[in-house]
Structure 1
Amino acid sequence: MITIYHNPRCSKSRAACDLITNTYNSANEATEIVEYLKQPLTVAELKELNAQLGCPVHEMIRDTEAEYKELNLADPSLTDAQLFEALAKHPILLQRPIVVRNGRAVIGRPPENVVTLFA
């Protein structure tokens, strides 16, 4: 199963979906596309996703969104728990797309990053 956390308004997210569908998913694995702005992830789901990504929580956060500045998420004293809460309450902050396959995940920026899940 391939899961893509997707924002259809994002060109990088659309490009990653296209690459998976047309190039990398030659075995026709089942694919679930989650529009995370319509179906926000819970804190527990975000923690699981973070474990699959294997990166600091901050790398999951888009620092170009207005909410990032409004919530002062650059503050180094914020805990991971606080960052997960911010992501759960403000899903626009989640990096996109994030692709999960076989228990591993990558952020598809650039979209070609997803190839590592199929190598």
Structure 2
Amino acid sequence: MIKIYHNPRCSKSREGLKILEESGKDFLIVKYLDIPMKKEEIKKVLELLDISAEELIRKNEKVWKENYKGKDLSEEDILEAMQEHPKLIERPIVVNENKAIIGRPPEKIKEVI
């Protein structure tokens, strides 16, 4: 089952959702700001994306700049930050079985569906 980690307030996430809707495939919408991801789920997504936790961070978010920027953070520290502040997670993320992609630009989503 295809899964999209979606933030309805984000234009890129809405564009990504539209691509999935137009694909005609079944998918699950995960509103990760409403129900934050657990660290284990974030780790699994990172493995599928083949990136580090820091690469999934939205570094222009106020919470990042005020609390984390410039600090020597471990992978675990960053995972905890994402779990505590899901707004820090880049979006949208689309997972299809053993493949995942960050939908920036949204057209990249077509690579995994």
TM range (shorter): over 0.9
Q: Number of matched residues?
A: 113
* Equivalence map 1:1-119=2 (5 Å): 1-22=1-22, 25-26=23-24, 28=25, 30-75=26-71, 77-118=72-113
> How big is the shift at 1:45?
0.7
Does the 8 Å contact 2:20/2:27 carry over to 1?
Answer: no
Contact 1:73 1:83 in 2 (8 A): no
Q: Render the CA deviation track for 1:12-54: whole Å, top value 9, x for unaligned.
A: 00000101211xx34x3x2100000001000111111110111
Question: What is the TM-score when the length of structure 2 is the normalising length?
Answer: 0.94
Question: Which TM-score applies when normalising by structure 1?
Answer: 0.90
> 1:74: Cα distance to partner?
4.1
What secondary structure, in the 3-state scheme, does the structure 2 residue paired with 1:70 have?
helix
Distance 2:65 2:6 in 1: 23
Contact 1:68 1:74 in 2 (8 A): no
Taking the aligned partners of 2:59 and 2:3, their CA distance within structure 1 comes to 24
Encode CA deviations 1:43-74: one digit per residue, 9 max, x unaligned: 11111111011112111110110011112244
SS class of match (1:100)? strand
Percentage of matched positions with identical amino acids: 40
3-state SS, counterpart of residue 33 of structure 1: strand
| Unmatched tracts of structure 1, length 5 or more | none
State the 1:115 CA deviation: 1.5
Runs (5+) with no aligned partner, structure 2: none
Over residues 83-104 of structure 1, what are the superposed CA-to-partner deviations in whole Å (9 max), with x where a residue is unaligned? 0000000001010100000211
What do you get for the CA RMSD once the two structures are aligned?
1.1
